[in-house]
């Protein structure tokens, strides 16, 4: 079997090597010619899979090791009888780590600690739900907007307050986290969900974090507001026109990262593994690998806290030991300066530094720091109280 795998997918040889010959290509270089004689395509979100790509090919299975599927024309796959799998939830916890890092950084800009914010979560799926749980456990007030789910409320998951509409969320929250997929059709489309009207309505000082899909936010309208008033803290991970994103918008926001909110080794490995499981099932073969055996131990195993830190200092220290969004912001601007935005965006992603999820770090607490146990656990770390 011939298997074509995006070069940005770790553990591909381990997972798919037993099935045949693997060829690797950068996702944006995968085209009709390279797909020609391939049986299986294993991709990430940068390869558009449509009639044009598959024309004349003998592909029988397409797997995308990502949560998002907006790059795949599922109707074409169905019409051609091609098997398909994505990786729901694979990097959702990593995106929540990203948002926590953003919230802690925002406090250094406006002096508001996370629990002084009211966070509006738009899109309460695998990411938004986990974000809601972690923020609520940290004592942060949240409102949730998810009209598709609001018609079938699951109050036990989202809390007794249930869902609010987008206008209410914008009017009542000083922090917005966008986690919607790109949906083009149907009753709840999300292209420019945050349009000019919504962006104008954001209250001055709003922290805006966008980590779903770039097209869900009107970048030109955001740029206009930042030029006119510069009264928002905008942190964008996803953009219209990736990788050739709006250079000026990237310079005007407080944090600009190149679609890496979910880029932990754990999130990527889970994505690969979920597609491996689906492919083996599709082929009627047993899964001989387990996620645990594939997963390497973290480089930073533990850290120890003693007395002397307040709650947010302790959380900031542990968070930054695992993940610091400032590094990705600086990384993108450095690449942007040296190689230009369109090249730099992908170059940084291809050489992305090793990152692990919060859950891989054990925080040991000396008796003087024991009061931080519940808060650090709520944030996603493993906690052990020591003598
Ligand atoms: N930046 C990154 O690195 C990164 C990482 C993972 C996922 N993502 C993106 O984030 C998206 C969300 O991920 P997920 O795992 O939570 O997906 P999901 O499919 O589990 O959840 C999406 C949620 O959005 C809701 N939704 C749909 N239309 C909506 C609308 N008009 N208004 C409000 N809510 C709406 C859905 O009802 C659903 O609950 C993915 O589709 C993917 O595109 C980005
Ligand atoms: O949908 C997803 O899972 C994420 O957006 C994913 O992290 C994107 O990664 P990429 O496909 O750009 O490598």
Whole-complex ipTM: 0.99
44 CA to centre of ligand 2 in angstroms: 6
The pLDDT of residue 152 is above 70: no
Report the alpha-carbon distance of residue 188 to residue 191 in Å, rounded.
Answer: 9
Q: What are the structural domains, with CATH classification, of the chain?
A: 2-86 (3.40.50.720), 91-256 (3.40.50.720), 302-385 (3.30.1370.170)
259 lines ligand 1 (CB under 6 A): yes
Binding-site entries for NAD(+): 146, 180, 237, 262
Per-residue pLDDT, 368: 96
User: Is residue 259 annotated as part of the catalytic site, yes or no?
Assistant: yes
175 lines ligand 2 (CB under 6 A): no
Q: Please indicate whether residue 102, judged by its CB atom, sits closer than 6 Å to ligand 1.
A: no
Rounded to two decimals, what is the model's pTM?
Answer: 0.97
Summarize the annotated binding site as residue ranges. 45, 66, 146, 180, 237, 262-263
Q: Tell me: the pLDDT tens digits for 168-182?
A: 999 999 999 999 999
Q: Could you say which of 130, 134, 192, 213 is catalytic? A: 213
Q: Please tell me the distance between residue 138's alpha carbon and the centre of ligand 2 in angstroms.
A: 27
Q: Which atom of ligand 2 is nearest to the CA of 263?
A: 7
Residue 166 CB burial class (10 angstroms; 0-12, 13-18, ≥19): middle
Q: How far apart are CA 293 and CA 291, in angstroms?
A: 6
Lookup result for tokens 């998002």: 68
Confidence bin at 137 (pLDDT 50/70/90): very high
Residue in the block written with tokens 């899909």: 213
For 23-59, how does the pLDDT look when each residue is reduced to its tens digit (9 = 90+)?
Answer: 999 999 999 999 999 999 999 999 999 999 999 999 9
- pLDDT band at residue 159 using 50, 70 and 90 as cut-offs: very low
Residue nearest to atom 32 of ligand 1 (CA): 146
């Amino acid at each position: 079997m011939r298997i074509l795998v995006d070069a940005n997918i770790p553990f591909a040889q381990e997972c798919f090597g037993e099935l045949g010959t693997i060829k690797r290509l950068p996702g944006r270089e995968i085209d009709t010619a390279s797909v020609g004689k391939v049986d299986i395509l294993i991709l990430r979100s940068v390869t558009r899979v449509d009639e044009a790509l598959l024309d004349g090919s003998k592909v029988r299975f397409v797997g995308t090791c990502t949560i998002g599927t907006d790059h795949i024309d599922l109707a074409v796959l169905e019409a051609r009888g091609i098997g398909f799998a994505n990786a729901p939830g694979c990097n959702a916890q990593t995106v929540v780590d990203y948002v926590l890092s953003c919230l802690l950084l925002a406090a250094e800009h406006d002096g508001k600690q996370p629990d002084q914010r009211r966070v509006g979560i738009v899109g309460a799926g695998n990411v938004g739900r986990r974000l809601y749980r972690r923020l609520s456990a940290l004592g942060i007030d949240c409102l949730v907007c998810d009209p598709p789910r609001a018609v079938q409320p699951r109050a036990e998951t989202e809390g007794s307050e249930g869902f609010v509409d987008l206008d209410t969320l914008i009017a009542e929250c000083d922090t917005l986290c966008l986690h919607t997929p790109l949906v083009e059709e149907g009753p709840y489309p999300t292209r420019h969900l945050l349009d000019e009207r919504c962006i104008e309505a954001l209250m001055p000082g709003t922290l805006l974090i966008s980590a779903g899909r770039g097209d869900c936010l009107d970048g030109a309208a955001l740029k206009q507001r930042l030029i006119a008033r510069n009264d928002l803290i905008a942190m964008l991970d996803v953009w219209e026109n990736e990788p050739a994103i709006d250079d000026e918008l990237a310079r005007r926001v407080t944090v600009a990262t190149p679609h890496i909110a979910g880029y932990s080794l754990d999130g990527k490995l889970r994505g690969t593994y979920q597609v491996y499981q689906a492919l083996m099932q599709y082929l009627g073969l047993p899964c001989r690998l387990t996620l645990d055996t594939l997963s390497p131990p973290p480089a930073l195993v533990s850290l120890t806290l003693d007395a002397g830190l307040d709650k947010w200092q302790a959380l900031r220290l542990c968070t930054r030991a695992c993940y610091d969004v400032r590094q990705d912001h600086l990384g993108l601007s450095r690449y942007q300066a040296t190689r230009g935005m369109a090249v730099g965006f992908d170059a940084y992603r291809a050489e992305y530094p090793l990152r692990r999820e919060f859950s891989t770090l054990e925080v040991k607490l000396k008796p003087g720091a024991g009061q931080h146990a519940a808060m650090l656990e709520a944030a996603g770390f493993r906690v052990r109280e020591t003598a």
